């Protein structure tokens, strides 16, 4: 993964470690990141408030990698800790990355959370420990990713992205697998990498299953500082 795509992944998903690729030798890397908002798949999970995050990754020359990522969190679920592992490599012009990620929210794991509006009580597992299987493919400058979740609200998230110089565009589609399907939506992101550390991103939800796509655009600036 290039530094440009690392910065873009941080700005658009705040889960840059999930798009790791094989390294030429075993190595450990770390970074500290600051963003003006926790932008996750077209939505600000922090309600526009700034967040601080950090990551620690290990990549082996075989293509196997493992990592951990932590963030000051969103306004609903609190602090977040992610653990992920996978395998990445190349087959001709195609780069691939397949793996597993667990999103952990300690404050939600302590007890069940009651939804007083709908008189529903969510279990610890649903909010405290969400997992996804993912596959990332890249070829000829085009990136495709798919994520499948079946324990924190069934859904599939697919995205297609393309970069030109310092610009990167992405379209993401969340398909809600629940019976009502009301959580489905489509968003578009455009990012500009000012340099290796600073990235600007604009994101907009352009379609929702509820028919309301009038949500305001999200604008995020992020700064990534690698730890040597």
Q: What is the pTM of this model?
A: 0.79
Q: What CATH number is associated with residue 218?
A: 2.40.160.40
Domain that holds residue 184: 3-227
Per-residue pLDDT tens, the chain, 228 aa: give them. 333 344 334 333 333 334 333 334 569 999 999 999 999 999 898 888 899 999 999 999 999 999 999 999 777 778 899 999 999 999 999 999 999 999 888 776 545 444 444 444 444 444 456 889 999 999 999 999 999 987 756 889 999 999 999 999 999 999 988 766 677 899 999 999 999 999 999 999 998 887 666 678 999 999 999 887
Distance CA 171, CA 203 (A): 10
- How many domains, the chain? 1
Rg (CA), the chain: 17
């Amino acid at each position: 993964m290039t530094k440009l795509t690392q910065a873009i992944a941080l700005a658009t998903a705040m889960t840059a470690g999930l798009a790791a690729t094989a390294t030429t030798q075993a190595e450990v890397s770390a970074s500290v990141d600051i963003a003006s908002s926790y932008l996750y798949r077209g939505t600000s999970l922090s309600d526009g408030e700034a967040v601080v995050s950090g990551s620690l990754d290990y990549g082996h020359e075989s293509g196997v990698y493992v990592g951990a990522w932590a963030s000051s969190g969103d306004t609903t679920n609190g602090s977040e800790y992610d653990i992920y592992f996978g395998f990445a490599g190349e087959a001709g012009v195609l780069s691939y990355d397949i793996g597993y990620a667990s999103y952990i929210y300690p404050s939600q794991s302590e007890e069940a959370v009651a939804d007083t509006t709908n008189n529903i009580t969510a279990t610890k597992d649903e909010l405290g420990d969400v997992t996804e299987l993912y596959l990332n493919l890249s070829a000829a400058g085009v990136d495709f990713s798919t994520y499948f979740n079946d324990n924190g609200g069934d859904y599939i998230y697919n995205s297609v992205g393309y970069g030109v110089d310092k610009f990167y565009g992405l379209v993401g589609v969340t398909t809600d697998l629940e019976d009502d399907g009301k959580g489905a939506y489509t968003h578009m992101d455009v990012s500009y990498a000012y340099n290796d550390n600073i990235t600007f991103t604009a994101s907009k939800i352009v379609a929702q299953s509820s028919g309301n796509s009038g949500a305001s655009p999200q604008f995020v600036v992020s700064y990534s500082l690698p730890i040597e």
